[in-house]
Structure 1
Amino acid sequence: MFKKSKKLSFIMIGTSLFMCTSLIAAPMLKEIKAYLNPSIQYTLDGESILENTQTISYHNKNYVSIADLANALGLQVSYENNTVSLTSPKEEVVVNIPQATIKEVLTDSNQVVILPEGKEDTPAHYLILNINAKTTIKDTESAHTYTLEELKEGMTLSVEHSPMMTRSLPPQTAAYSITLLEKNEPTVITDEEIPTFTLLKNMNIVSINADANYFIIAPKGVSQEDPNNQTIIRYSKDTLMNAQSNQDISSSLQVGDLVTVKVGPVATLSIPPQMLALEITLEA
């Protein structure tokens, strides 16, 4: 966590500056003679501010809109019962993840799926970073700024993100900054290295939805009702049943059956994940 502070500097051409909300002479308003002074300039950390604010000179004092000044300083201002209230911003809370690995880059939705270091590689431990125009993406070796499209699966990075997260699985949060920790070169995977299937052995069938062509499985010996243990298996007319094609899969299975499922290499990031069955084998 950290708190950002800013130093205000004023460049003035003329006399000293004083702030005033309005030209009020207590106890009643009265007519005065004042002048607009366009020669006065203001800067904040070297950057010009209040460029469209009028400065009023009166009795060798200069007055500006306190609302404009408060806005430039990031303060909140309110006026009630002849009282002007200024409220300073709360400390900016930032959550830091020192190291994580990119699991997926979703350019269509401007999101990056990461796995924080030290956590088990399951979707339940993933975090989805929402990237916006204010998110900075850089590396530790140069001043190069990266685009979302340049990020690749397998890259290692550190992240600063908002403490606010959705309650979805995986949770989503706004990313403030992403820093690549090393020179990350995309890994070239040959056809021989791409897995064509995965075997899910000793799986109990938890439920069956014949109308939607899927069933839910969980490993034998674990909690069958915990979504983190479950996998949704979808099947099609091409799915083999006990090494045979054109089988009525839904009528061949029952809740509680022990099966081995050969699935494709792709799984969704949902909880439970969804996979496509290539072959289903009933165990004795």
Structure 2
Amino acid sequence: MKRKLALWGVIALTLSSLLGTVWAANKLYPIKASLNNNYKYTLDGKQIMKNVPAIIYNNQVYAPIYNLAKDLGYSVTVTESETNLVKSTTSTPTTPAQPSDTVTIDRAQIIAINFADDTVTVVPAGKSTDTKNQIVLKVTPETAIQNSKNKKAYKLSDLNTGIDVKVVHSSAMTKSIPPQTTAYSITIL
């Protein structure tokens, strides 16, 4: 019960940072909170929640639960009614509809990840890592990243070089070497 109340407290405080007030017992009370853009959040040594400010209230640091849940791979829906908030999460990744012009690479190896550009460079199985064999995949918020065994949703920051993946990408590619295209899905094998 304490955990559930603490979670609702974090949600209320997060929303209050935007509104400047906290909802309690059908009354709004003003509070003083500040946002600090200098905080960096890491999970298992990897940065999460990039460009998300921390909320400082009563000498406590709070992170927005919505951003945290999103970066952990959950689909989050928050609705506000007159008297309550409803939050539902699921760990099942949502696979976006893919255009008919897709290209599937059943097995490729990740040889580079650029977190600044949100790109993953892969080489199809059986090919050398020469630049002419590489494909640079742009990872967008719509790119589904999941594990083939547990179907769990992952983020770009969960990927590592050297792992094998199945890739579905757009057939539209740049003529650069290596070519670049948009990834529709990346499945960890």
**Larger % of helix: which?**
2
TM-score, normalization: structure 1? 0.31
Higher gyration radius (CA): 1
TM-score, normalization: structure 2? 0.47
- Higher RCO structure (Cα 8 Å, ≥6 apart): 2
